[in-house]
A and B are shown apart, each in its own frame.
Chain A
Amino acid sequence: MEILSIDISPKTPLVKFNAQEGKLEFRGRSIPENSIEFYTPIFDWIDKYSIQPKSETNINIQLEYFNTSSSKCLLDIFKKLQNLHTSNKSKVTVTWFYEEDDEDMLEAGEDYQAIIKVPFIMSKI
């Protein structure tokens, strides 16, 4: 399966998904006005990956800012990964990065942790 690679922009994050390694990565900001447009290819990639996933899937989220319309898209990504995890197709781990003094970002990670049944690691940068 092809690597999904999206360059960083002022309003959207760097995205790098590698199916061979079972590694998914977000880095930067996610504040587009139309988040569905940005996230649709990402959803599609995960759906394809989910047909034959690696035994372990690691997703790293290192966001500086994200808006509420992206928060809904992130939740949809986590839900897709939760399906992989609960169906035992792949052991999923989410690593949620936050800067030391950024309580809001830590709290945002904890919000997802409360909704999604996948192990979360909160990692201070």
Chain B
Amino acid sequence: MFDIYDFYEKMEDGKIMLSFKGEITSDLLTSILHIMESKLDNIGEEPKLKKKVYNVLVECLQNLYHHNDGTGNQNLVKSDSQNSALFLIGRSDNSTYKIITGNYILKENVLDFQSKLELINSMSKDELKEYYINTLSNESFSDKGGGGLGMIDIARKSGQKFEYKFTPINNIYSFFSLIIKVTQ
């Protein structure tokens, strides 16, 4: 039998506050944000950090909502994983929040996205500000509305480097894993 206790303990050790695996819908986003806001209030998180965490959460979840390349596609290995994305948030004792996401990405999009993440990770605080302002003022909206600002904004607000990995799944897809840390 699947070891539920082991699964529970792993979640406990990882200080997981909330986890979700499944289709990311607009209603789900509203619920997750509502739950997380209550949790942050309940633990009495410092207002400044609370705002940072909330802001990063909004962008991460909306990235999953807008940019899950697996949505509606039949070419994935597991038929039930088409619309799925993974989301976890944990909080360690020293008030470091870890936001973890996982989702499918088309292989043809990996290189561009990877170089964007590398560029963001290489930038200082001031360089990120400049990059954000340039992107905001120069780029037009994509059909998904994001305008390419999301990851830059997350990097600015979190103040930490992204940890990420692309795992090849088949000829068409890779799985994109991302860890974002948010601290004071």
Residues of A whose CB lies within 8 Å of any CB of B are: 10-11, 31, 33-36, 65, 67-69, 71-72, 75, 99, 101-105, 107, 111, 114-115
**Interfacial residues of chain B within 55-100, with CB under 8 A of chain A in the complex:** 55, 58-59, 62, 65-66
Stretch from B111-119, B149-157, B162-170, B172-180 at the A interface: B149-157
Asked if A104 and B52 make an inter-chain contact with CB atoms under 8 angstroms apart, the answer reads: yes
Asked if B141 and A104 make an inter-chain contact with CB atoms under 8 angstroms apart, the answer reads: no
Bound complex: CA of A104 vs CA of B156, how far in Å?
9
4 smallest CB-CB distances across A and B, nearest first, come from A68-B149, A69-B145, A72-B147, A115-B137
A-B contact count (CB 8 A): 67
Asked if B157 and A104 make an inter-chain contact with CB atoms under 8 angstroms apart, the answer reads: yes
Which one of B34, B51, B65, B149 lies within 8 Å of A72 (CB-CB)? Answer: B149
Asked if B51 and A102 make an inter-chain contact with CB atoms under 8 angstroms apart, the answer reads: yes
Please report whether the interface of chain A is mostly helix, strand, loop or mixed according to DSSP: helix
Nearest chain A residue, comparing its CB with the CB of B63: A68
Collect the chain B residues with CB atoms within 8 Å of residue A75's CB.
136-137
Asked if B133 and A10 make an inter-chain contact with CB atoms under 8 angstroms apart, the answer reads: no
Asked if B153 and A36 make an inter-chain contact with CB atoms under 8 angstroms apart, the answer reads: no
- Sample (15) of A-B pairs whose CB atoms are under 8 Å apart: A11-B30, A31-B33, A33-B62, A34-B145, A65-B54, A68-B59, A68-B147, A72-B136, A99-B47, A101-B48, A102-B51, A103-B48, A104-B156, A107-B129, A111-B129
Contact A72 B133, CB 8 Å, known A33-B65, A33-B66: no
Which one of B30, B33, B55, B62 lies within 8 Å of A69 (CB-CB)? Answer: B62
Collect the chain B residues with CB atoms within 8 Å of residue A99's CB.
47
Bound complex: CA of A99 vs CA of B26, how far in Å?
28
Collect the chain B residues with CB atoms within 8 Å of residue A72's CB.
136, 141, 145, 147, 149
Collect the chain B residues with CB atoms within 8 Å of residue A105's CB.
51
Most buried by B among A72, A107, A114, A115: A72
B183 to chain A, nearest CB (A): 14
Collect the chain A residues with CB atoms within 8 Å of residue B66's CB.
33
Nearest chain A residue, comparing its CB with the CB of B65: A33
Contact A68 B150, CB 8 Å, known A11-B30, A33-B65: yes
